[in-house]
A = this chain, B = another copy of it.
């Protein structure tokens, strides 16, 4: 779909955008495409233990900004997405996944009994802390796919880890919904003033980050 050179260009196009142009909006069509990139992201067992909160309300954005070291991306970017991990991974949640799987495959759910046993065994073997660590890592795959997908549409992003997840959960009412904030992502178009766009990437050389065995 792309040549190696085009992929190279794409990877260099993306950078953590510090200043967004608040006047430039991501089109509805492109917004939907980016939400689909989240929906179709790979996850452990395909269970999709996540939810993505698109914050459009300006006053909520302002509240989140004050829980994000005042970073302007929270309010200036066209889209602001909070990527959240699901917190209650119980029998019912496993059944919800198996019901979806059986429906799509057009097979009776009973056929999935051995798979269910395996899944339950895996999940129940984790402490609540390990479960959360596991689900949050899945959310980061979605973050990666989202940022690369946006770059493909020549849309800029900035991942935000420097946020107060406890405050985010409160502001967005996530706890009652069964989720907790993992990370956030601002999406839009770089401001002409963002000098970071022209700063060369400070990556370690390939010889340091790759080792062949």
Binding site for B on A (CB under 8 A): 1-2, 4, 6-14, 16, 29-30, 32-33, 35-42, 44, 46, 48, 50-57, 60, 100-101, 103-105, 133, 136-138, 140-149, 151-154, 159, 161, 172, 183, 199-204, 206, 208-213
Q: How distant is the Cα of A74 from the Cα of B148 in the complex, in angstroms?
A: 26
Contact B105 A199, beta carbon cutoff 8 Å: yes
- A7 in complex: contacting residue of B144, B152, B183, B203, CB < 8 Å: B152
Q: How distant is the Cα of A211 from the Cα of B53 in the complex, in angstroms?
A: 5
Contact A39 B153, beta carbon cutoff 8 Å: no
Residues of B with C-beta under 8 A to A143 = 140-141, 144
Q: How distant is the Cα of A151 from the Cα of B42 in the complex, in angstroms?
A: 12
- A105 in complex: contacting residue of B1, B60, B202, CB < 8 Å: B202
Contact A144 B153, beta carbon cutoff 8 Å: no
- Considering the complex, give the chain B residue whose CB is closest to the CB of A179: B211
Q: How distant is the Cα of A103 from the Cα of B151 in the complex, in angstroms?
A: 27
Contact B202 A56, beta carbon cutoff 8 Å: no
- Considering the complex, give the chain B residue whose CB is closest to the CB of A4: B33
Residues of B with C-beta under 8 A to A32 = 4
Q: How distant is the Cα of A14 from the Cα of B137 in the complex, in angstroms?
A: 19
Nearest-neighbour CB distance to chain B for A190, whole angstroms, equals: 15
Contact A53 B213, beta carbon cutoff 8 Å: yes
Contact A2 B1, beta carbon cutoff 8 Å: yes
A to B CB contacts below 8 Å, 24 in the list: A1-B9, A4-B33, A4-B153, A7-B36, A7-B152, A11-B149, A14-B40, A42-B144, A48-B204, A52-B210, A52-B211, A53-B210, A53-B212, A54-B212, A55-B213, A56-B212, A104-B200, A137-B140, A137-B183, A138-B140, A141-B159, A143-B144, A144-B144, A144-B146
